[in-house]
Amino acid sequence: MLPLGTPVILLSKVTQHVARIARRTEINPAGGTGSGLRAFLSELKRRHVYRVAAVYAAVAFVILEAASFIFPALLLPDWSFRLLVFSALFGFPIALILAWALQLTPEGVRRSEPSEPAWRRPSGRLLAGTALSGVTALAVFVAYWAYLRPEVGVDLVADRVAVAPLENLSGDPDLDPIGQMAADWIIQGLSQTSLVEVVPSIGALVSSRNVQEMAGPLEAMAWVRAFAEETGAGLVVAGAYYLQGDSIFLQARVTDARQGKVLRALGPVSGPAAEPLRGVEGLRDQAMAGLASHLDPRLAVAARVSSQPPSYDAYREYIAGLEAHVLHQFREALDHLYRAAAFDSTFTVPLLFAAAAHTNLGEYALADSIVEMLTRSEARLAPLDRALLDWLRADVQGDLPGALQAARRMAEIAPGSFRGYQVGLEALLVNRPREAVNALTPLDPTRGQLRGWMDYWTVLAAAYHMLGDHRRELEAARRAGRQYPGRLEPLEMEVRALAATGRVDEVRQRVDDSLRQPFGRGISPAGIMQAAGVELRAHGYPDAAREMFERTVTWHKERPLVEMRTRGYRHGLANALYLAGQWHEAQVAFQDLAADDPENVFYQGFLGVLAARHGDRREAQRISEELGSLQQPYLFGENTYWRACIAALLGERHAAVALLREAFASGYPYSLVLHTDVDLESLRDYPPFQELLRPRG
């Protein structure tokens, strides 16, 4: 988009430019076109058309500048500002026509008349119409180009390489894994060198699936272009493999996706069908050598000294585990990844992804043991894999700043990939929302690994909220809603932004909308009501907040009987009762939950804050001491956070802030909860707490 004021300034300059051209036009002594044009320009001046143009441009500029501040404050949609710009541009030629046709006199507005007989009405009208039509057309063109034109194309990074899984033309589905094996082995070879930017294996796998699902069968070059746009890569390696007798043949092409030009044909490389990785190894060597002439000659040297691939059985299981991991089927992924490691003990990458799967399942002890084992052999890992190992190590240790540093390294090695999202997430968790925004906004959430990844919008909206930029937060929420129609998560983001700005009626409308949409696992309408309630309460609307909390309790009590028997329901109802101020009912509910799971820190924490709210200081302090004495690993400061909440409710503000700092140092993440937690309300006007919440970057 052009800078604000550009259309007005452009039109003003165009008008001046036309006048200068007209003044330089040679005058025809015989009274032809030149003299007629001179008379026309003189008439424009007499009728104050130039003055009207200048005043209109100045006023339009002031209005647009003011709107750039007022519209965001009112949280008006983007199109409203574009409409204002277009209206200003469209009104410009109308103002000129009116200035030409009408004249302001002491007697009122009158129709303008020619000043001298030399001005011949027919030719003057023709000239006026021609000039004003040109200005009008130019105004429309500038408006369209600057503000209304659709975004086209995708910027491809010239030196970024994406390797697509090879297509199986053998007719034997048992050989399907070979296509991904070949792609992954080429990617591993390129990654090991640190000489080129290459799309990681998971990103390439997800992108190829996206193209297949979205576009279906395509001509070869069209498929390459679609795959390039998914990955942002200017160079694509794609190909196929087939059987001939007892041999397998692999071939590929290196394509400049920006120009649609094949740069290098690779293969065919053959190998025994019983040992397909021999052919895969040969294709990788050719791919690296072929890319060397276009990217870095050192790739050819690296190809000659590259390591040997793992065994075929190990690689087959690894690829199956990778595909399950992409689908978030982490249990199935673990089965394949552990089998891959068992087939070939020198093949360490499967264990890296096994550790990641364990963390996704909350099994930190198992992930920790794998990380410790891999640390002894991390020198054999590719740079991106070493950075991933560093991230896993920081994650299981609750070292959030270390996790951010590792995520930054991963994003540097593979820019434009899913790792950019990871930087945004880790930055948010250490109270660096500006860095989160800067990491997320250059990414395209509709392509590659981010396609279908709702958390991109969740993190971006949360970052804007923590910065107090509720206009952009609302924009992010609505863009998420357009990308994921029918999902409830965008509604939750939207009610947070609306509640923060006091738009209570719109909050109620969005909550009503959530009741009309289906929901499954994850967020429910009750979650949206609760989000609306805590935000309204935090931003000074207690009555509206109470209404939301009561609606949350009612929603739970109206659920089907079969649902009421689940622990998830009991947990949700207990939390709803607490927020609604129904302390006795909430205490009974949390006591029942704690009886079933006595080591659950969450339930013990609620019992502690309930004791504080009931005025039972001794019981609240006893529970706080028990939480402080817990020795179980991987709590990541959760027990300490609950102790801070108890201290805040007991009026011990200094101790509460000290405990919050301790919780963050132990791995407890910053989030939106901090400014909406009803247990921390007594700290909101406390300067040390305000300083704690102030964004660090």
* Per-residue model confidence (pLDDT) at position 356: 95
pLDDT bucket at 365, cuts 50 / 70 / 90: very high
* Per-residue model confidence (pLDDT) at position 361: 95
The larger pLDDT score, comparing residue 495 to residue 111, is at 495
Cα separation, 600 vs 614, in Å, equals: 22
Give the contacts of 58 (CB within 8 A, at least 6 positions apart): none
From first CA to last CA, the distance across the chain in angstroms is 26
The mean pLDDT of 464-477, rounded to a whole number, is 96
In this predicted model, what pLDDT tens digit does every residue of 551-585 receive, in sequence order?
999 999 999 988 888 988 999 999 999 999 999 99
3-state secondary structure 337-395: HHHHHHHCCCCCHHHHHHHHHHHHCCCHHHHHHHHHHHHCCHHHCCHHHHHHHHHHHHH
Does CATH place domain 157-309 in 3.40.1190.10? no
The larger pLDDT score, comparing residue 132 to residue 388, is at 388
Task: Domain ranges for the chain, please list them.
Answer: 6-148, 157-309, 315-398, 454-558, 585-697
235, 294 in Cβ contact below 8 A? yes
pLDDT at 526 over 70: yes
Closest alpha carbon to 425 in 454, 387, 396: 454
In this predicted model, what pLDDT tens digit does every residue of 177-234 receive, in sequence order?
999 999 999 998 888 887 889 999 989 999 999 888 876 677 888 899 999 999 999 9
* Per-residue model confidence (pLDDT) at position 299: 65
Fold match between domain 315-398 and domain 585-697: yes
Residue 81, Cα to own-chain centre: how many angstroms?
24
- Write the CA distances from 405 to 390, 392, 393, 402, integer angstroms: 9, 12, 12, 5
The mean pLDDT of 226-246, rounded to a whole number, is 93
As assigned by CATH, the class of the 585-697 domain is mainly alpha
* Per-residue model confidence (pLDDT) at position 135: 53
Which residue is listed with tokens 């007005």?
8
pLDDT at 382 over 90: no
Cα separation, 627 vs 630, in Å, equals: 6
pLDDT at 465 over 90: yes
Element (H or E) spanning 131, and its range? helix 121-143
* Per-residue model confidence (pLDDT) at position 36: 58
Which residue is listed with tokens 């092409």?
253
Least confident segment among 115-119, 278-282, 598-602, 684-688: 115-119
CB atoms within 10 A of CB 536: 27
249, 241 in Cβ contact below 8 A? yes
Element (H or E) spanning 222, and its range? helix 220-231
* Per-residue model confidence (pLDDT) at position 31: 44
As assigned by CATH, the class of the 315-398 domain is mainly alpha
Q: Is 385 exposed, middle or buried (0-12, 13-18, 19+ CB in 10 A)?
A: buried
* Per-residue model confidence (pLDDT) at position 4: 38
pLDDT bucket at 106, cuts 50 / 70 / 90: low
The mean pLDDT of 622-634, rounded to a whole number, is 95
CATH superfamily of 454-558: Tetratricopeptide repeat domain (1.25.40.10)
Q: Average per-residue pLDDT in the chain?
A: 84
Least confident segment among 103-117, 134-148, 236-250, 449-463: 134-148
Cα separation, 2 vs 85, in Å, equals: 12
* Per-residue model confidence (pLDDT) at position 8: 40
* Per-residue model confidence (pLDDT) at position 90: 74
pLDDT bucket at 416, cuts 50 / 70 / 90: confident
* Per-residue model confidence (pLDDT) at position 515: 93
CA angle 637, 361, 322 (to 5 degrees): 135
CB < 8 Å & 24+ apart, contacts of 490-496:
490/457, 491/517, 491/528, 492/523, 492/527, 492/528, 492/531, 493/457, 493/458, 493/461, 495/528, 495/531, 495/532, 495/535, 496/461, 496/465, 496/531, 496/532, 496/535, 496/672
pLDDT at 23 over 90: no
Which residue is listed with tokens 């990681």?
200
Structure tokens belonging to residue 589: 């509910």
The larger pLDDT score, comparing residue 39 to residue 175, is at 175
* Per-residue model confidence (pLDDT) at position 103: 65
CA angle 422, 424, 429 (to 5 degrees): 95
Residue 113, Cα to own-chain centre: how many angstroms?
61
- Write the CA distances from 576 to 507, 541, 557, 614, 624, integer angstroms: 18, 18, 10, 17, 23
pLDDT bucket at 327, cuts 50 / 70 / 90: confident
Element (H or E) spanning 78, and its range? helix 78-101
* Per-residue model confidence (pLDDT) at position 20: 44
198, 191 in Cβ contact below 8 A? yes
Give the contacts of 663 (CB within 8 A, at least 6 positions apart): 637, 638, 640, 641, 644
pLDDT bucket at 386, cuts 50 / 70 / 90: very high
pLDDT bucket at 649, cuts 50 / 70 / 90: very high
